[in-house]
Amino acid sequence: MPLPKFLSTVGIHALAGLTHAPARPEGRYRLALLKLDRIGDFVLASGAIRYALAQVEGPKLLVVSEVAAPLAHRLFPEADCLTMPAFAPGLLRDMLPIALRRSRTLRSLRAETLLHLRYQPTHYHRLVQRWIPARRALAMEDTTHPLWREAIRLPLISDRELPYPSLGEIADLREGALLGCGELEGHRRVMEAWLRRPVTLRAVWPWLEPLRANLPPQQALLVAPFCSARIREYPAEKLIEAVREFHAAHPLPIHVACAPDERARAAALIAAFKRRGLRDVAAVPNACLSDYAGLVSAYRLVLSMDSATAHFAAAFGTPGVALLGGGHFGHFAPWSAGSRFTWLCHRTPCHHCEWRCPLDAAECLAEIPPKTVAEALARQFQRPARSLGAPVEGPAAAARH
């Protein structure tokens, strides 16, 4: 074993051992749910969290990422909420300080049942799960993921070995009008293993209804052009061409969404739109995350990258189009309830590369023709607008266990 990996192995196991929780503590919480992840991934887990919380009486706990905490507080006020960083890639720089600051708090939580709802392996997420004492723990990992093959073998704690859905199983994962993805099927399997009874895809369907905005319908096209990694963005020139073609037939105002650290890029894109003759273009006003999510529910039409905006729109049933790369195709998207949301992707031989793309521009995105994007927008625009406040087809009422 190379020396750096050996030292990392020693460090990881030391952190796990120093803070390892007793195997059978007395439960302080009836249920603890662990979901440290990005905003879009939290949206995908929202229905499973809602369903799980409805199954038990008594104290319940959510351990969520700092970026997703505003959503968790609004959606699930019945649960205590503890926030932590979503990721901690470095052993000394990230994981050790978190262990020193947080391990004592985590050890004091004590849960009768712990459900871990992240399935892509990292040392950090395994450590956090080990730091929370639980009588029973259920988790799964995607063992086909490159990080699993490269990972230091810190055993995952789970009462049962739960297989993550294979690509074949999620190729056409449908239940009635619902089109699912690997994450949703993973959540369904965890719930089913925990409750020891069948659980439907509908029961864990993403649920954001408390965030829905009480606003007049926004008769505009919301464009969310940015993503957490630039390799996952559609080229700006092609985006402008697609919007121009759609706008020529359907002249909606265009609103450009961005995070606070993307304002300069948004201003440059708006200027480029205007140079190409699109004058009615403006930035979406600044809003907190939960208010922005609700605003997405009020738009007439959405065009987004594979980002939180796309997941908000799909969950609310806002008509829209998302441009999806092939790096994680099938795992986190496409998913939709009915035909109100379209995911576009260009198939390439290197699909499912886990975004280890050697190209300057990912062909699975860059080769989507602007005309295809414009036509998909036009089809969604021609659908009747859903009445404000009408919920998207989603989870049925959760029966208490």
- Return the H-helix or E-strand segment holding 256: strand 254-256
Check whether residue 238 and residue 340 sit in a common domain: yes
Say yes or no: 365 and 258 in one domain: yes
The answer to whether position 387 is within a domain reads: no
- Regarding pTM above 0.95, the answer is no
Tell me the CA distances in angstroms from 382 to 215, 281, 340, one per residue in order.
22, 21, 11
**What is the DSSP secondary structure assignment for residue 92, as one 8-state letter?**
I
CATH of the domain at 57: 3.40.50
Q: Are 149 and 172 in contact (CB under 8 A)?
A: no
- Which of 167-176, 315-324, 325-334 shows the lowest mean pLDDT across its residues? 167-176
188 in a domain, yes or no? no
216 in the same domain as 150 = no
Q: 102, 132, 162: which is the final residue of a domain?
A: 162
| pLDDT value, residue 8 | 67
Least confident stretch, 35-39, 59-63, 175-179? 175-179
Whole-angstrom Cα distance, residue 321 to residue 305?
9
Whether residue 257 lies inside any domain: the answer is: yes
Are residues 255 and 158 part of one domain? no
330 and 253 share a domain? yes
> Do 306 and 241 share a domain, yes or no?
yes
Residues 364 and 220 in one domain: yes
- Say whether both 32 and 129 belong to one domain: yes
- Do 235 and 355 lie in a common domain? yes
Say whether both 37 and 107 belong to one domain.
yes
pLDDT averaged over every residue in the chain: 88
Residue 1 confidence (pLDDT) above 90: no
Q: Which helix (H) or strand (E) holds 69?
A: helix 69-75
Domain finish residue from 162, 195, 227: 162
> Is residue 117 a part of any domain in this protein?
yes
Q: Residue 254 is part of a domain; what is its CATH number?
A: 3.40.50.2000
- Within 196-327, residue ranges assigned H as helices are 236-249, 263-275, 289-298, 308-316
Structure tokens at 292: 């922005």
pLDDT band for position 18 (cuts 50, 70, 90): low
Q: 330 — alpha (psi -120 to 50), left (phi > 0) or beta?
A: left
Tell me the mean pLDDT in the region 235-241: 97
Give a yes or no: residue 397 inside a domain. no
Residue 26 predicted with pLDDT over 70: no
**Cβ-based neighbours of 111, under 8 Å, separated by 6 or more:** 27, 28, 29, 30, 31, 32, 61, 132, 133, 134, 135
Specify if 184 maps to a domain.
Answer: no
Distance CA 57, CA 60 (A): 8
Beta bridge pairs of residue 141:
163
Indicate the pLDDT class of residue 351, thresholds 50, 70 and 90.
confident
Residue 63, domain extent: 3-162
The answer, yes or no, to whether residue 395 has pLDDT greater than 90, is no
Nearest of 157, 154, 125 to residue 8 by alpha carbon: 154
Determine the average pLDDT of the residues in 300-311.
97
Cis peptide before 358 (omega within 30 of 0): no
328 and 266 share one domain: yes
Same domain? For 235 and 366 the reply is yes
Kindly state whether residue 183 falls inside one of the protein's structural domains.
no
| Structural domains of the chain, count | 2
pLDDT over threshold 80, residue 155:
no
| Residue 112 is assigned to a structural domain of this protein | yes
